[in-house]
Amino acid sequence: MRTAGVITRRRMAVLLYLATAALLALTGRLAWIQFARGAELQEKALELRTRDIPVEAKRGNIYDRNGQLLVTSVSADSLYAIPYLVTDPQKVAAALAPVLEMDAERLQKILTRRSCFEWVARRLPPATVEKIKKLNLPGLFFVEESIRHYPLPTLAPHVLGFTGVDNQGLTGLEKVFDAQLRGVAGRIVVEQDATGRDVPGAIHRYIPPRSGHDLVLTLDKTIQQFVERELDKIVARYDPKLAVIILMDPRTGEVLAMGNRPSFDLTGWMTAPQHVWDRNPAIWYNYEPGSTFKIFTMAAALSEGVTRPGDRFYDPGYIKVADRYIRCWADGGHGSQTFEEVVMNSCNPGFVEVGLRLGKERFYTYIKNFGFGSPTGIDLPGEAAGILIDEKKATNLNLATMSIGQSVAVTPIQLLTATCAVANGGVLMRPQLVKEIRDPAGNVVASFQPQPLRRVLSPQQARQVADLLCSVVLKGTGRNAFIEGYRVAGKTGTAQVVGEGGGYVSGKYVASFVGFAPADNPRVCALVMVAEPKGGVYYGSQVAAPVFREVVRDALRYLKVPATPGLDKPPSPFTYEEPQPKVRVPAVTNYPLEVARKVLLEAGLGAVVQGEGKVVLRQTPVAGTEVARGTAVVLDLADPGVLTHEQVVTVPDLTGLTVTEAAEVLSSMGLELEASGVGQAAGQEPAPGTRVPRGNAVRVYFRPVHSPSAAGPAREFVERP
Amino acid sequence: MPASTLGRSRSVERKLLLYAGAYLGTGTAILFLHGYGKVPWTVLAGAATAFLSFILLHFFWSFKGFGGDPFLLPLVALLSFTSLLFLYRLNPAYAVRQFAWLLVGVASLWAVTCWFPRYQALADYKYLYAFAGAVALLLPIFCGVEQGGARSWLDLGLFYVQPSEFVKVLLVLFLAAYLAENRLLLSAGNFKVLGVFLPSPRDWGPMLVMLGVSLLLVIFQKDLGAGLIYFATFLAMVYVGTARAAYVLLGALLFLAGAAGSYFLFDHVRLRVQVWLNPWALIDTAGYQIAQSLFALASGGLWGTGLGKGMPEYIPAVHTDFIFAAITEEMGLGGALAFLVVYMLLVYRGFLVAVSSRDEFGSLMAAGLSALLGLQALIIIAGVSKLLPLTGIALPFLSYGGSSLVANFILLGLLLNVSHHVCFDGAGKEAS
C-alpha cells in the first residue's frame, strides 16, 4: 500500500483541488447573485409577485355653454375575485350564479383559476351590487367603474358622439377629445401568493383613478332642442333623405346648435344602422347649394365694383353662355330689373351676367377666401371639403353655373361659416364647438377663444350684402323667413340633386335657406337644409324658409334679443304658384299600405287612410285620373283576413317602378315577377286590373329611364327660388 | 495506540455532536417562539429524539470500540438537523416524515457499521450489485410512478421509494470492486485509439456495460440528475483507479457528445438548457422555478432574513431540490458558505479515508463514495444558483426525501467502515 498509497494520495489531491475549485466557483456565484445582481433581482421579484389591474377613470362630463349637463358618467360597480381568498369556490359560485344570472360552473372555473385576480362581472346594476354585498362572500371585491349616461339621448348625437365598451370615444366630440375626457386609469395592485398563505405585509391596494376633464361646449341645450323639434317636424312633413339645421353665433363662430336627420339614440346607437351614426351630414354631406351660393357671387361682385345695387339688368328668361341656354326659374323671365331686384328675385340670368363680369380669377379668389373647397376645421371627425372645379380647368360655362350655385358642392357647415363672415362684417371665423376644458374640480384647464381666419369683405361691403339679403326676406323669395320684430337677412336655395351619372335626377331637390338676424347686429346665423323632401313641395322658400323662421325666432327670443317694433313687413307670405302640372293618379290598389304611401308621395300626392288593414282594397280617385299635385288619395284598406284567404288577386299597375320595387309589390300580393329588360317598368302582362289566381307570374317589361342627360341637353339649368 | 487514538477521537465526536445538538436546540427555540406548527411540545420532543438517536449511536460506537472517523457523524448530524428545521419551517408535515426517515437512516447507519464492518467481503459480489442495480432501475419503468417529470419512484403503499438513490451506492461498490481487480490492466492499455492507449474492450466491457445500462435506464426515467451523477462518479473513480487523465478527458468528451445528442433528441433537455440560458423569457412556465430560486438567493444578503422570516414558499419544490435556496434566503451568504464548507469537510474526510486505506477496494470505495457525496451537493447547488443547467438531485442529508436520506446514511456507514479498518490496521494516522 505504500507505493499505491503515494499514487492515490496525489490523485486524491487532484480531486480535492477540483472540489475546492468547485467550492470557490459556487461561493463566487452566490456572492455575485447577492451583491452584483441583488437589487435587480429583488426588483424583478416584486414586479413578478404583484399584478396591476387597470381601473378605468370616470370619464369627464360634457356641458352646454350654460353649464347644462349633456353627457355624464354614472358609477357602476364591477365585481372581481382574488381566487386564493375564495375559501369555498363551489359554494360561492352557487350563491353568486342566480344573482349574476351566470352559469355556476363557469363561475366556479373563474374562482378557482390559478391567478391572483379575475374579473367576475363588469358594470353591474346597483340592485345586483346590493344583493351581492349582502351575501358577504369572501375573496370578492367591488371596484367603481362608470357607464356613459345621457340625460337627453337624442340631443345632438352626431356632435356629442358615443363611447365603446371600454369607454373610449368612438365618434363626435367623444372621439376628438377622448384624451381629455378619458382621465388617468387607476390600479388594483395585488400581490401574488403561490401558496395561498398571507404574504407578510401583503399588498392589496387600490390606487384610485383620476377622473377625466369636463368639456364645456358652445352648444346651447335649449336652442339645440328647438333644432331637434323642427327637424322632427320636417321628417313628419317631408320624410326627406337628409335634413340639417345648424345655428352659429356669427360674431364668434361658435356653433349654437347642430342637428341632423336621420338621427339616432345615443344609448342605443348599436341598434341604429351604421350609415346613420358614423357620419355627421352637417359637416360631411356635399351638395349643390343652388341659390344660397348667390350670396357669395353677390358679395364678390359688389366688392369688386362690377355692379351696384342700382344697376339695371334685363332677363328675357334665359341667358346664352357658350352654346348653352341657362334658363331662369321664372317662365318668361323677370324682364328689366335693378341688381337689388335680381337678388330679391334670385334671377339666374342676372347672376350669371354678374359672375361673367367678375371673371374666373376674381370669382375663385372670393369663394376660396370664403372657405369653399377646404374643410372649416371644426372640432369633429370626418369633415368633407366640398368640391370646386379646378380653377385652371374651369370654363366660362362653369363660371356661369357656379355663379348660381351649380357645378359646385359645399357642406352645410361651409356654407354657414361663409354666411357668418357676411353677417359679422366680413371676417371668416373658424367654427367652434368647445369653449373650455375644465378639470373635475371645475378649474379651467384650457379655454378656446374665437378664431378669426381672415378678412373676406370690408365692413361696408358686408353691410351692403346684408342689406340686399334683407330685401330678399322682406320683398323677395325669402318672405317666408320673415320674423316679426327683427330684420332678417337670408337667401333661399333649391337645387336639383345630382345623380350618379352626373345628370340631375328629376324630382329630387335640396331645399335650403341660410340667413341671419338681426341683420344690423346679428346674433344668430342659421342654415336649414332639407335634401330630397317628398310630397311634391320642394322649394327652399316653402320647405326651408318657414323652418328657419321658427327656429331663429325661438332662438332670438330665448337669447332675449330685443325686438324692434314697427319694422316693415312683407306684403304677403311668399308662395310661388308654379303652373301646377296635373298629376296622373298611380294605381295602388292591392298594394301594401307602406308601398302605396310611398308611390303616392313620389307622385306628389298625399294619402288619406280609411279602415284597418295592411293592403289597399280601393282607391279614390281611381288610377289614371288627372288631379292637381298635392291632392290626397283616399285609400280603403282591406281586411287582411279576407285578402290572405282570397285566392284571386287584382294585378296592380307597375308602370314606372324599378325591378326591385315591382318585385316587392308583386311578392307582397303573392304574385311572381318575370322581368325582362332593365330600367323602369314600361309594360306588363296581364294588364293592370286583371284578376288572376295567387301564385301566377306577371311579365313586366323594363326600359331604361329617360334621364335629362340622355334625352335633352346635358344639364337643364333651371334655378328655382 | 489504537485504543488511545480511538478514545480521543470518540470524545471529539461527542463534543462536536453536542455542538450540533446546541445548534438544533437554538433552531427549535426560534421556530417555537415564532409560533410555527400547532403542537410545539411534540416538536421539541422530536428534536430531542433526533439528537438522542445520534448521541446513542455515538455511545454505541464508543462501547463497541468502533474506530470510524469522528468528524463524519457530527457533520452529517448538522446537516440532518438543518434539514429538520427548514422542513418544519416550510411545512411541518414534511418535517414529520423526514424525522421518521432520519431515524430509519440512523438505524441503517448503525446496522451497516454493526453488521458489515468487514467491508472487504463486499468486493466479491460485484456482479450481484450490477444485476441488482439494473433491476432496481428497471422496476420504475414498468411499475413506477411519475413525480416532478421523472418516472423514478416505486409506490410501496406507505411511502415512495426512489431506487436510483440506492443504485448510486451500488454503482460505487461495483466500480470499486471491478477497478480494484482490473486496475493494472486498465491503466496500462494495449491498443491505441486517437493517440491514446486504451485497454482492450474485454477489460473495459463489463464496466462500460454496467454504466451504459444505468445511463440508458435513467434516460428512460427522464432522471437527468441521476445520469449526471453516475457518469461523473464513474469518471472520478476511473481517474483514481488508473491515474489516466486521458480516460477522464475521453469520458468528458463522451459526456459532452451525449449531452449534445440528448439536447437534440429530447424536448425536456432542450427546455432545461433554454431555461438555463434565459429563464426570464419563460418566467411564467418553465423558468418560474429557477427565477424564484434566484430571487430567494438574492434576497438573503450576507446574513439572511433569519429563520422563518423569508418567503421561500414561492419556489416550487423548495423542500426537495431547492432547499439550498431556502437556506440561503434565510441564513444568508454566511449560512450558505457554512454549508458548502460542511460538504467540503465531508469530502475531505472521505478522501483522507481513501488515502489512508490499505487495500485497493476500500480505497477506491471511499474515494467513490466521497466523490458521489460531493458531486451531488455540487451539481444541485450549481443548478439552484443557475451556474449549470438544473437537474433534479437531492441535496445529501438536507433535501426532503427518505430514499436519498437512507441511501446517504448507508454511504456514510460504508465510508466509516473503511475508516474503521484504517484505524485498526494501523495503516496510518488520520489527518496526516
For residue B340, list chain A residues with Cβ-Cβ distance below 8 A.
23, 26-27
Give the percent of chain A with pLDDT over 90: 39
pLDDT score, position A582: 66
A23 touches chain B (CB under 8 A): yes
Between CA A192 and CA A196, with CA A195 as vertex, the angle to 5 degrees is 70
Residue among B314, B336, B351 whose CB faces A12 most closely:
B351
**Helix runs in A500-565, H state only:** 545-558
Beta bridge partners of A189: A52, A205
pLDDT score, position A721: 47
A449 touches chain B (CB under 8 A): no
Residue among B333, B360, B371 whose CB faces A31 most closely:
B333
Residue among B292, B298, B355 whose CB faces A8 most closely:
B355
Helix (H, G, I), strand (E, B) or coil at B193: strand
pLDDT score, position B189: 59
B30 touches chain A (CB under 8 A): no
- Contact between A519 and A612 under an 8 Å Cβ cutoff? The reply is no
Helix-helix angle B360-384:B163-188, to 10 degrees: 120
Pairing verdict, β B150-155 and B144-147? antiparallel
Residue among B298, B311, B341 whose CB faces A41 most closely:
B298
pLDDT tier at A558, thresholds 50, 70, 90: very high
Contact criterion met (CB < 8 Å) for A38 and B240: no
Helix (H, G, I), strand (E, B) or coil at B144: strand
Residue A440, C-beta contacts closer than 8 angstroms, at least 6 positions apart:
A60, A211, A212, A213, A214
Give the percent of chain B with pLDDT over 90: 33
- Contact between A527 and A412 under an 8 Å Cβ cutoff? The reply is yes
Residue B255 vs residue A355, higher pLDDT = A355
Q: How high does pLDDT run on average in chain A? A: 84
- Contact between B269 and B263 under an 8 Å Cβ cutoff? The reply is yes
CA B171 to chain centre: 13
For residue A19, list chain B residues with Cβ-Cβ distance below 8 A.
344, 347-348, 374, 378
Between CA B169 and CA B179, with CA B365 as vertex, the angle to 5 degrees is 105
pLDDT score, position A332: 75
What's the rounded Cα separation, in Å, for the pair A428 and A368?
Answer: 11
Chain A residue with minimal CA distance to B239? A11
pLDDT (average), residues A252-276: 91
What's the rounded Cα separation, in Å, for the pair A644 and A628?
Answer: 34
Torsion of CA B65, B70, B76, B81, to 10 degrees: 80
8-state DSSP, A210: B
Q: Does B113 reside within a domain?
A: no
Query: Which of these, A412, A418, A400, lies nearest to A295 by C-alpha position?
Result: A418
Number of CB pairs, chain A paired with chain B, less than 8 A apart: 110
Active site residue A668: no
A113 touches chain B (CB under 8 A): no
In this structure, how many other beta carbons lie within 10 angstroms of the beta carbon of residue B432?
A: 8
Residue among B294, B328, B358 whose CB faces A41 most closely:
B294
pLDDT score, position B426: 52
pLDDT tier at A502, thresholds 50, 70, 90: low
pLDDT score, position B110: 94
8-state DSSP, A163: B
Give the percent of chain A with pLDDT over 70: 89
Lowest mean pLDDT among A447-451, A564-568, B413-417: A564-568
For residue A12, list chain B residues with Cβ-Cβ distance below 8 A.
240, 351, 354-355, 367
Query: Which of these, B343, B275, B334, lies nearest to B306 by C-alpha position?
Result: B334
- Contact between A694 and A647 under an 8 Å Cβ cutoff? The reply is yes
- Interface with A, mutate which of B278, B285, B311 (most A CBs under 10 A): B311
pLDDT score, position A652: 76
Q: Does B277 reside within a domain?
A: no
B363 touches chain A (CB under 8 A): yes
Chain A residue with minimal CA distance to B308? A200
What is the number of residues in chain B?
432
ipTM of the complex, rounded to two decimals: 0.89
Q: Name the domain count of chain B.
A: 1
Torsion of CA B248, B253, B256, B260, to 10 degrees: -160
Helix (H, G, I), strand (E, B) or coil at A306: coil
Retrieve residue B168's grid coordinates. Answer: 448510486
Residue among A9, A20, A195 whose CB faces B355 most closely:
A9
Residue among A1, A12, A27 whose CB faces B337 most closely:
A27
Q: Does B137 reside within a domain?
A: yes
What is the number of residues in chain A?
721
Between CA A44 and CA A49, with CA A48 as vertex, the angle to 5 degrees is 120
Residue A588, C-beta contacts closer than 8 angstroms, at least 6 positions apart:
A595, A596, A599, A600, A616, A619, A623, A633, A635, A652
pLDDT score, position A193: 54
pLDDT score, position A197: 44
Chain A residue with minimal CA distance to B358? A1
A25 touches chain B (CB under 8 A): yes
For residue B349, list chain A residues with Cβ-Cβ distance below 8 A.
none
State pLDDT tens for residues A305-316: 999 888 888 888
Q: How far apart are the CA of B65 and the nearest CA of chain A, in angstroms?
A: 25
Contact criterion met (CB < 8 Å) for A41 and B236: no
What's the rounded Cα separation, in Å, for the pair A478 and A471?
Answer: 9
pLDDT score, position A700: 86
Retrieve residue A91's grid coordinates. Answer: 359554494
8-state DSSP, A287: B
Residue A376 vs residue B272, higher pLDDT = A376
pLDDT score, position A624: 76
The CA–CA distances, whole Å, from B32 to B25, B92, B180, B415 equal 10, 12, 51, 36
Half-sphere exposure of B279 (CA within 13 A, CB side): 22
Question: What proportions of chain B, in percent to the nearest 5, are helix, strand and coil?
Answer: 75, 5, 20
Contact criterion met (CB < 8 Å) for B298 and A7: no
pLDDT score, position B7: 60
Retrieve residue A528's grid coordinates. Answer: 336649414
What's the rounded Cα separation, in Å, for the pair A327 and A504?
Answer: 15
B239 touches chain A (CB under 8 A): yes
For residue B428, list chain A residues with Cβ-Cβ distance below 8 A.
5
Query: Which of these, A322, A402, A391, A405, lies nearest to A361 by C-alpha position?
Result: A391
Chain A residue with minimal CA distance to B356? A5
Q: Does B172 reside within a domain?
A: yes
Chain A residue with minimal CA distance to B422? A1
Query: Which of these, A58, A49, A106, A47, lies nearest to A81 by C-alpha position?
Result: A106
Lowest mean pLDDT among A42-56, A265-279, A439-453, A506-520: A42-56
Chain A residue with minimal CA distance to B378? A22
Contact criterion met (CB < 8 Å) for B354 and A12: yes
Superfamily of domain A221-558: DD-peptidase/beta-lactamase superfamily (3.40.710.10)
Residue A423 vs residue B249, higher pLDDT = A423
- Contact between A522 and A487 under an 8 Å Cβ cutoff? The reply is no
Residue A508, C-beta contacts closer than 8 angstroms, at least 6 positions apart:
A496, A497, A499, A532
- Contact between A139 and A82 under an 8 Å Cβ cutoff? The reply is yes
Q: How far apart are the CA of A9 and the nearest CA of chain B, in angstroms?
A: 5
Query: Which of these, A532, A682, A536, lies nearest to A602 by C-alpha position?
Result: A536
What's the rounded Cα separation, in Å, for the pair B312 and B289?
Answer: 11
A27 touches chain B (CB under 8 A): yes
What's the rounded Cα separation, in Å, for the pair B63 and A556?
Answer: 119
What's the rounded Cα separation, in Å, for the pair A129 and A141?
Answer: 10
Task: State the amino acid at position A665 in one-letter form.
Answer: V
State pLDDT tens for residues A141-198: 888 888 888 999 999 999 999 998 778 899 999 999 999 999 888 877 776 654 444 4
pTM of the prediction?
0.56
Residue among A19, A194, A197 whose CB faces B344 most closely:
A19
CATH of segment(s) A52-217: 3.90.1310.10
Contact criterion met (CB < 8 Å) for A27 and B355: no
B299 touches chain A (CB under 8 A): yes
**Helix runs in B266-424, H state only:** 267-277, 288-300, 323-356, 360-384, 402-424
CA A93 to chain centre: 45
pLDDT score, position A718: 46
pLDDT score, position A335: 84
Catalytic position from the list A73, A211, A291, A346: A291
Query: Which of these, A15, B258, A9, lies nearest to B250 by C-alpha position?
Result: B258
Q: How high does pLDDT run on average in chain B? A: 84
Query: Which of these, A321, A315, A373, lies nearest to A342 by C-alpha position?
Result: A315
Query: Which of these, B366, B295, B304, lies nearest to B331 by C-alpha position?
Result: B304
pLDDT score, position A323: 79
Retrieve residue A230's grid coordinates. Answer: 323642427
Q: How far apart are the CA of A51 and the nearest CA of chain B, in angstroms?
A: 13
pLDDT score, position A416: 96
Residue numbers in chain B where pLDDT is lower than 70: 1-7, 36-40, 147-151, 184-207, 210, 214, 217-218, 284, 425-432
pLDDT tier at A579, thresholds 50, 70, 90: very low
Q: How far apart are the CA of A101 and the nearest CA of chain B, in angstroms?
A: 33
What's the rounded Cα separation, in Å, for the pair A4 and A273?
Answer: 98
Give the architecture-level CATH label for domain A583-718. 2-Layer Sandwich (3.30)
Chain B residue with minimal CA distance to A197? B313
CA A657 to chain centre: 31
Torsion sign across C-alpha atoms B308, B312, B316, B320: negative
What's the rounded Cα separation, in Å, for the pair B248 and B194?
Answer: 14
State which residues form the domain around B130: 119-265
B 269-288 → A contacts, CB under 8 A: 280, 283
Burial of B429 (C-beta count, 10 Å sphere; 0-12/13-18/19+): exposed
Q: How does B361-379 read in b/e, with b if 16+ C-beta sit within 10 Å? A: bbbbbbbbbbbbbbbbbbb
What's the rounded Cα separation, in Å, for the pair B3 and B140?
Answer: 47
pLDDT score, position B175: 87
Q: Does B132 reside within a domain?
A: yes
- Interface with B, mutate which of A11, A27, A193, A198 (most B CBs under 10 A): A11
What's the rounded Cα separation, in Å, for the pair B377 and B390?
Answer: 13
For residue A7, list chain B residues with Cβ-Cβ distance below 8 A.
243
Lowest mean pLDDT among A438-447, A660-669, B345-354: A660-669
Q: Does B227 reside within a domain?
A: yes
What's the rounded Cα separation, in Å, for the pair A153 and A62?
Answer: 13
- Interface with A, mutate which of B34, B285, B340, B372 (most A CBs under 10 A): B340
Contact criterion met (CB < 8 Å) for A197 and B313: yes
Retrieve residue A269's grid coordinates. Answer: 346607437
Residue among A20, A33, A199 whose CB faces B311 most closely:
A199
Retrieve residue B289's grid coordinates. Answer: 422555478
What's the rounded Cα separation, in Å, for the pair B24 and A476?
Answer: 112
Torsion sign across C-alpha atoms B297, B298, B299, B305: positive
pLDDT tier at A717, thresholds 50, 70, 90: very low
